[in-house]
Structure 1
Amino acid sequence: MIRKFRCGLTAMGLATVATAVTLTSLPASTAAAATPSRFGRIHANLLEHGPKAPLMIAAHRGQWRDAPENSLAAIGAAVEDGAEIVEIDVRPTRDGHLVLMHDETVDRTTDGTGRVADLTLAQIKALHLRQGLGGRQSAVTEHTVPTFEEAMRAVKGRALVNLDKGWPVRERMYEVLKSTGTVDHGLFKGAPTVEEAAAFMAKDPEILYMHIIDDATAGTPGTFPGRQPVAYEIVFDQPEDPQVAPATLEKIARHSRVWINSMWYGLAARYTDEASLRDENLGWQTLAGTYGANMIQTDNVEALDHWRDGGDLSRYGRQPGHRTVRVEGEDYAPGGEGVGYHDLDPNRCTVARPEEGVDICDLEGAIAVNWIRGGEWLKYRFEVKKAGLYQVSARVSSPYSPAGTVVLDWGTGTGTTAPIANTTSHDALTLQPLERRRLARGTHELVLRMPQDAYQNFNLDYLQLDLIGR
């Protein structure tokens, strides 16, 4: 069964393009023989570009929160978590093979070094991928770098694949798609001339192509001869940019889908994944409702899928009812220095409470306490409405190992010591367990202390307490 949710869209211009967006989540399992297959439905949805076209989710570099980016495991996890499209990055090796790698070098994402173009396939296959988004201090895993052919065989019949970085080797990618029977799975993309893109599409009617536009190429829509791109990837850093003018978006929507990226600032102004988690109108709702996005590339696949199915983002990640207490990092107790907090360095950013010393920063839309250092502390007061055993966690981020250590002081001056794990990026906010504690109903006070003798370099989005027992 296909689940549908029609969201209430605000008429902020472009009413003719996005008067309604049908948010659709495809079933995880293959449909019965009498109905179209999962991939058949995905492919049919891709070719639907009208105002009621179902919103499609693209997973940026796969589900890197569960497995290394651009790994076979990340591709599989993205599909399981609700993505109909998996974005991968394709580069050629020295001996002419195609592998999945975002950077020009293998340094960030593997335990090796060197440019992909200078290494043979055998040399790259001997490397192991690092956890998540990589980085020199992230853990090395058992996963290896996939070839493009391996990736297409793994995803066949399950999802579309957005082929990033690959336009220079499009002919070689096309040959792999033909040999694996997946030409209709690959979504080529680039920003070449219209003539070059049209010539490539003319090679095979099954070729799927998405054209990238920005400020300089905003006039491209409507100039393709014959067959049109199946989608346009629109990159804009200001709401006033010409590529997102209502007339331009309306022209695109006549023949193509609208793809917008929400991973970080500058891809779609400030409408990001993290901003969406604070308020849907700061991100995905506006992208769909105002700009007509019916394809969104995200780093938060599960959250976007939850919202697409009608889920309340303000409740995302919480237990139902009164079973979860969430305390934002910036909502520390009043009273100032030495009372509500202790901070050792001058303000580096002041997104909130600028008159105080705590560094409260904007992490691509998330409001978090940054620049945490040893010897600092934050005091929090909150209400527990139901007594019981709680899992106390923190949503944190850091590219370092160790990232930090915290002491949870419930009023005694000492408490449980908990490590903060590497999340592989300053922007990769992740909920990490700290301790389990039995709490009575009523007001509680918690001082989060960062020991002076421990390395500290992490960011805190919020604390979360989930009721797990009585």
Structure 2
Amino acid sequence: MIRKFRRGLAATGLIALAGATALTTLPPAPAAATAPGGIDRVHQRLLKHGRGAPLMIASHRGQWRAAPENSLAAVDAAIRDGAEVVEIDVRPTKDGHLVLMHDESVDRTTNGTGRVADLTLDQIKALHLKQGLGGGQAAVTEHTVPTFEEAMRTAKGRALVNLDKGWPVRQQMYEVLKRTGTVDHGLFKGAPTVEEAAAFMAQDPEVLYMHIIDDATAGVAGTFPGRQPVAYEVVFDSTDDPQVTRETLAEIARHSRVWINSMWYGLAAQYTDEASLRDENLGWRTLVRTYGANMIQTDNVEALGYWRDGGDLSRYGRQHGDRTIRVEGEDFAPGGEGVGYHDLDPNRCTVSRPDEGVDICDLEGAIAVNWIRGGEWLKYRFEVRKAGLYQVSARVSSPYSPAGTVVLDWGTGTSTTAPIANTTSHDAFTLQPLERRRLTKGTHELVLRMPESAYQNFNLDYLQLDLTGR
């Protein structure tokens, strides 16, 4: 594997290359999708860039939607869900071991407290990780904090690993990669001087390096002597930034891949995961066509994979295709206060329907009803084309436990009360089941009530009704 990879570096010009650039590459057809696993195939994709380079998917902190961020289970789930690159965060402990932890402290993601640098490996290993993205009210799980070596053994032979936060301990990480036979799996990254980065790459032809550029360092592109970075991580908060001019992106793509992050605003202007789910042109499609992205780091691995492989994002997440009814949270009934809705506090944001009293906010690209409080309600009207049994769900987010309680009032004298679960972040939306209800063909009216007797602090993206039976 290592000999094959070294020959690939020379053949594709990451050691010496000349080639044309195209910034309008579209995602490949479904048949071109890469199956999870298989490091040789991942390498083959990595070493292609410029015109026709296949889009590669990187998972941010592993698949934290399925397991705690930076856990071994999250690394494994990300690969199983289609990520060719898994991003992890590496920090040293007090006694010199390397562990996975994004923050300087363990407070957010574990049931412990303290700085990683002040705790020994044994002390950190005694902690348990919290669900998802963690937070003060997230549930504690059985998962523990992995060492860097454990993470690399989990990914070995299956995917590349993006080594975030680790540049200060790059040499120690390199020794772990050598020991585990995964030097060609680790993607080092940083924003040092060109000389420092080049010297590090020069020690081993198997070392993979990605250089981070922003407004201040846009001019670095194309100035590396000898072997080039396999990718540049391009960070921009404005489409006018120098690092995303056509000339700079073309220079990058001559020798390297273009890596862009789409997790939240400011990493790639406003082209985010959540915006992509509303309209591909608001996110991933523009990053690929306009900015030449051929590596995208995401918090929505499965959705990005679905789109890359030819899927229509307007249909993504509709569990039963044409038999799914989706009602956006902001599409409550007309008539104003007391008729279409009841809202108790002044507007805090008015992304949509500014003349109404409901707080409709932009959460990293998701347009959702926010600042929901006890005593408020929203009325929805929608059409049912096929009578049958429907699963009624809500796409919601909240870092609180409990996040809230809703009453589904169908105006028929019966109602259903359902809890809203903690999703571990205001920005982490999940589709949560509320009830199963038999609905007739025709127009239906649903009042979603938030009782005063329950704590309420969640955000509503949309309601979804999936026909599950006749």
Q: TM-score range by the shorter chain?
A: over 0.9
The amino acid across from 1:346 in the alignment is P
Q: Which residue of 2 aligns with 1:40?
A: 40
**Alpha-carbon distance in 2 for matches of 1:22, 1:451:** 46
Q: Which residue identity is paired with 1:280?
A: E
Matches within 5 A, 1:305-324: 305-324=305-324
Pairing partner for 2:23 from 18, 22, 35: 18
SS in 2 for 1:218: helix
Letter in 2 for 1:409: D
**Which residue in the other structure is 2:340 paired with?**
340
User: Which amino acid is the alignment partner of residue 18 of structure 1?
Assistant: L
1:50, 1:253 within 8 Å by CA — same for their partners in 2? yes
Any idea what the Cα deviations from partners look like across 1:156-181, whole Å, max 9, x if unmatched? 00000000000000000000000000
Conserved 8 A contact 1:91-1:100: yes
- Structure (1/2) with the larger helix percentage: 2
SS at match of 2:432: strand
Given that 2:320 and 2:467 are in contact with CA atoms closer than 8 Å, whether structure 1 keeps it comes out as no
CA contact (8 A) 2:27 2:309 kept: no
Q: What is the aligned partner in structure 2 of residue 398 from structure 1?
A: 398
Is 1:21–1:53's contact at 8 Å kept on the other side of the alignment?
no
Contact 1:110–1:128 (Cα < 8 Å) also in 2: yes
Residue 27 (structure 1) aligned with residue 35 (structure 2): yes
Deviations 1:196-227 (A, max 9, x none): 00000001000000000000000001111110
Q: Deviations over 1:63-102 (max 9, x none)?
A: 0000000000000110111100000000000000000000
Cross-structure match for 1:169? 169
Which residue matches 1:281? Answer: 281
Cα deviation, residue 16, structure 1: 4.6
Q: Report the 3-state secondary structure (helix = DSSP H, G, I; strand = E; otherwise coil) of the residue aligned with 1:211.
A: strand
2-structure distance, mates of 1:319, 1:383:
18
Structure 1 residue 322 displacement after superposition: 2.7
Gaps of 5+ in 1: 1-14, 30-37
CA distance in 2, matches of 1:102, 1:187: 17
CA apart distance, 1:28: 3.4
In structure 1, distance between residues paired with 2:21 and 2:35: 30
**Displacement of 1:26:** 1.0
Show the counterpart of 2:388: 388
Deviations 1:412-459 (A, max 9, x none): 465100000000000000000000000011100000000011000000
5+ residue gaps, structure 2: 1-19
Query: 2:441 corresponds to which residue?
Result: 441
Q: CA RMSD in A?
A: 1.0
CA apart distance, 1:44 = 1.4
Contact 1:322/1:386, CA 8 A, preserved across alignment: no
Q: Deviations over 1:268-311 (max 9, x none)?
A: 00000000000000000000000000000000000000000100
CA distance in 1, matches of 2:398, 2:25: 39
Letter in 1 for 2:204: D
Conserved 8 A contact 2:21-2:50: no
State the partner residue of 1:4: none
Using the TM superposition, give the Cα deviation of residue 136 of structure 1 relative to its aligned residue in structure 2, in angstroms.
Answer: 1.2
Q: How does 1:166-205 map to 2 (within 5 A)?
A: 166-205=166-205
- Give the AA of the match of 1:68: P
Partner of 2:14: none
Shift of 1:20: 2.6
3-state SS in 2 of match to 1:238? coil
Q: Distance in 1 between the 2:361 and 2:329 partners?
A: 11
Summarize the Cα distance change of 1:320–1:433 in structure 2 as closer, same or farther, 3 Å threshold: closer
Name the CA distance, whole Å, in 2 between partners of 1:390 and 1:412.
17
Aligned to 1:51: 51
CA deviation map 1:108-128 (0-9, x unaligned): 000000000000000000000
Match of 1:81 in 2: 81
Counterpart-to-counterpart distance in 2, 1:175 and 1:58: 24
Identity of aligned residues (%): 84
The size of the alignment, in residue pairs, is 448
Q: What pairs with 1:1-400 in structure 2 (closer than 5 Å)?
A: 16-23=21-28, 24-28=32-36, 38-400=38-400
Specify whether residues 16 and 199 from structure 1 end up closer, same or farther in structure 2 by C-alpha distance, changes over 3 A only.
closer
